[in-house]
Amino acid sequence: MLQDWFDGRKSSFSEVQGFAYTVGTYPGVLKFMSSVRLLVGTRKGAFVLTSDGKRKDWKITGPHFAGWEMYHLKGSLVNPNRLYASQSSGWFGQQIQRSDDGGETWKPMNNKFVYDGTPGTHQWYDGTAHPWEFKRVWHLEPSLTDPDTVFAGVEDAGLFKTTDGGESWNELPGLRNNETGPHWQPGAGGLCLHTIILDPTNPDRIVIAISAAGAFRSDDAGKSWKPINKGLWSKYIPNPTAEVGHCVHHIAMNPKTPNTLFMQKHWDVMRSDNAGDNWTKISGNLPTDFGFVIDVHSHEPETVYVVPIKSDSEHFPLDGKLQVFRSRTGGNAWEPMTKGLPQQNCYVNILRDAMAVDTLDECGVYFGTTGGQVYCSPDAGDSWSAITHDLPPVLSVEAQTLA
């Protein structure tokens, strides 16, 4: 996406000259000299992984914010050296960090996330009313057009926004105040807003997902929201087709087809072709359709990736074999991608924000594991290799394609 953005915006080369792998000064070779920067958040710090377009030799820097839980890092599309990071600790709470030089140096920003007005209650695990309490930021989604505007998805579920580069944060309270809010219930990982999708063709449209409330959409830039969970079926809630209560693990979208959404639910892989109004199951021949991550090929909107996990009770790959499943048909027909991945004794998990794609001509696919590996496929999933084996448990992976 970043590559496309560069091409479309004619962004200046100087914006990324500070980047170690951007070499040469001839605009004609930019495509050839493209490079990739991975932003990896782990339980014990953040790491920045960089490579040229071949994606074979990687340089790793970090840990940044050593010892802290780094839930998510993401860069701005319009200024790729502007990065935002969510830094969290059970001891010291939430911090937001910002970099203006591609992750070499960072500055702590405002960390005050205060719900608008007097927050009401959501349901606790046992169905009793529980007051909304801010715990952490799970996901940071920079605006597609303004490097100073970022959305933050938080636990307990809420959506915040900065328009001054992180100097201040304000809640978009329409989501939390949705009439279904008092019925939202946390999953075991907390009542977290973990997915934020911005529509490049419609600045008023935002799709978000909350565990375990479900997916929601705004068509007025975040003022009002509606649940978009029709077609989901979840046996762990009293009414399996309820309007809310579904444990959506992650949603992915190819920016070229913003009305098509792919969802990894607790169980079930789903798709929607009308921006979430209705969902259909596309698990097809997957050996298990439990999992956390899901992503879409950068150039082929019907090529989808998931990593099946054995079950909700056993969060590791089936039979100890780490397999990425790829569908080239928008779901239902899936093929295992195993070349270069461990096919025995592998019992790691891949968490919901820990898969990403780059936008090079041959789409790169990346994912991180709770065992500290970060895997790279430079050929759209055909073959894989570990960039690194021994990081702390990986919470999130984002890929930046730099011109």
Partner 1 sequence: MSVQRVRVELPLHLMRLANLSGHETTLDIAAPVTLRAVLDELERRFPALEGTMRDHVTKKRRDFLRFFACEEDWSHQSPDAPLPNAIANGTEPLLVIGAIAGGSF
Q: What residues make contact with partner 1 under the rule CB under 8 A?
A: 43, 67-68, 89-95, 108, 111-112, 114
269, 330 Cβ separation under 8 angstroms = no
Q: Classify strands 324-327 and 335-337 as parallel, antiparallel or unpaired.
A: antiparallel
The minimum distance between CB 93 and partner 1, in angstroms, equals 5
Give which of 337, 360, 376, 356 is closest to 58, Cα–Cα.
376
The minimum distance between CB 141 and partner 1, in angstroms, equals 22
- Structure tokens of 16? 């990324």
The minimum distance between CB 101 and partner 1, in angstroms, equals 17
Three-state DSSP state, 310 = coil
The minimum distance between CB 95 and partner 1, in angstroms, equals 7
- Structure tokens of 323? 């397999």
Three-state DSSP state, 252 = strand
Of the pair 90, 238, the CB lying nearest partner 1 is at: 90
- What is the C-alpha to C-alpha distance for residues 77 and 31, in angstroms, rounded to an integer? 17
DSSP string, 131-166: E----EEEEEEE-SS-TT-EEEEEETTEEEEESSTT
In 157-212, the DSSP E strands lie at 158-162, 170-171, 192-198, 206-211
Inter-CA distances, 353 with 112, 224, 229, 233, 240, Å: 24, 25, 20, 23, 26
Of the pair 67, 182, the CB lying nearest partner 1 is at: 67
- What is the C-alpha to C-alpha distance for residues 15 and 123, in angstroms, rounded to an integer? 47
Of the pair 68, 384, the CB lying nearest partner 1 is at: 68
The minimum distance between CB 393 and partner 1, in angstroms, equals 10
Give which of 205, 244, 240 is closest to 228, Cα–Cα.
244
How many other C-beta atoms can be found within 10 angstroms of the C-beta atom of residue 339?
A: 14
Interacting residues of 31 by C-beta distance below 8 A, sequence separation 6+: 3, 361, 403
Q: Classify strands 365-368 and 150-155 as parallel, antiparallel or unpaired.
A: unpaired
Of the pair 89, 280, the CB lying nearest partner 1 is at: 89
The minimum distance between CB 354 and partner 1, in angstroms, equals 19
The minimum distance between CB 136 and partner 1, in angstroms, equals 12
Beta bridge partner(s), residue 99: 83
Of the pair 26, 91, the CB lying nearest partner 1 is at: 91
Of the pair 92, 236, the CB lying nearest partner 1 is at: 92
Of the pair 105, 280, the CB lying nearest partner 1 is at: 105
The minimum distance between CB 74 and partner 1, in angstroms, equals 21
Of the pair 299, 315, the CB lying nearest partner 1 is at: 315
The minimum distance between CB 230 and partner 1, in angstroms, equals 38
Q: Looking up tokens 């307990």, which residue turns up?
A: 156
The minimum distance between CB 349 and partner 1, in angstroms, equals 17
